Every structure is written in C-alpha cells, then in structure tokens.
Chains A and B, each alone.
Chain A
Amino acid sequence: GAVVSQHPSWVICKSGTSVKIECRSLDFQATTMFWYRQFPKQSLMLMATSNEGSKATYEQGVEKDKFLINHASLTLSTLTVTSAHPEDSSFYICSATPFQGLGYEQYFGPGTRLTVT
C-alpha cells in the first residue's frame, strides 16, 4: 500500500516551453502533497505544500507564477514549470501523506527528471 506515482519519469523540453508533471496517490487519499526538487548529489529542497482544494503554500524563494501547483483531487496534484529555462533542469519529486496532523511519514513518488535545452 501507499504507492505514489509520477508521470512522466523523465522529460526533455526546449527553453521557453511549459512542462506538466503529475503526482498520483494510487491506493490512498492524500490530504496533503509536497513538491521537492533535488540537484545532483544534493538534498531535497521543499518547493511547496498543497492541500486538496486550496492554494499551495510555497517556500521562500520559490516563484509561484513559475511553478504552478494544482491539487484538484485527493489523488492528484500537478506541477507545471512554466517558461522553463536550463536552470530549471532538476529532479522533481512529489510526496503525499494520507494523514492529518503532525509529522507523519510521507510516501514519495519515483521522481521526474526534467532537462531543459
């Protein structure tokens, strides 16, 4: 149980285009989903927290107009990288938790590698 999928697993796009990444909880309803980015050999940096039906909460320094997050249902959240540039190339990972309240474990997707040329 507690499986989270991401699609696509990798994507290459041209500079200036937009890319949408989907995150789905397959066997549970996710009250909260998180989006992270990870650079090679580095840690995960939280980008935003999204709750179903409400606006995402972005971390300091993350451009909300560039990284659009939609959490339209309890099993799906999407991250759209708008007008992508080479510096947006990274590994994007989502996670989800079915729990409400403090500090339960998160279930992570397999990640999406974005390369912007």
Chain B
Amino acid sequence: SQQGEEDPQALSIQEGENATMNCSYKTSINNLQWYRQNSGRGLVHLILIRSNEREKHSGRLRVTLDTSKKSSSLLITASRAADTASYFCATVYTGANSKLTFGKGITLSVRP
C-alpha cells in the first residue's frame, strides 16, 4: 500500500510565487525522496533527505523533514512555468532495502 500522502493534491500558482507541497507518511523511514514527473514521462529525482537530516537545499528547492510528525515539505521558490509537473514524495522505510513507496502525487500548475 502507498505510504506517502501528499497535500494539496493540486496546486495552481502564478509564476514567481513560491510553491509548498507537503507529504506525510506512516512508519519509520530510512530516507524520503522527492521526484518530479512531466506529463507522460518518467520521473526525475529532485532531492533525498535522510531520517537524521532536518533540512536540505538544492537550487530553488528546499526540503524539510520532521520525523516526529512523520512529514516532509517541498518548497519551490520563484516558480517558473517549466516547474509545471506532478510531484511525488517517496519513502524508503526501515528494512526495505532501496524499495520506494510513492505517494499519490501533487499536480502543480504554474501560470505564466
């Protein structure tokens, strides 16, 4: 069964605004990863945050992890139309080797 649950399910913002997406999970994890998927394409890995980390940055991306609340957030700053895509959080739960469990995804639309 899916472990990650993102919210909101859909998000529409204006170019230049920040986009915040949240993910919650249910059991103990080794790490949490965020991926982007453009329509009809494969997934692109964005960022990985380990269970002993609280925050990570990569370019315009900022990811936080709160293991006490079993939640993570992905912040995209200064959004661009090209950021329009579906975003998935995926967890590697403890004992699962490299197996990823994906959430349902968030559809982000950035209006030019």
Contact = CB atoms under 8 A, between A and B. Distances in A.
B44 interface: yes
Contacts of A4: 42
B98 A111 contact: no
Given A102-B97, A110-B42, A111-B41, A43 B92 contact: no
Contacts of B100: 34, 46, 106
A4 B42 CA distance: 10
A5 to B, nearest CB: 10
A25 interface: no
Interface residues of B, number: 25
Contacts of A44: 43, 88, 102
Contacts, number: 64
Contacts of B33: 105
A49 B99 contact: yes
Interface residues of A, number: 27
A103 interface: yes
Given A103-B30, A104-B98, A105-B33, A42 B42 contact: no
Interface string A76-110: 00000000000000010101010101111111111
A95 B104 contact: no
Nearest to B93: A103
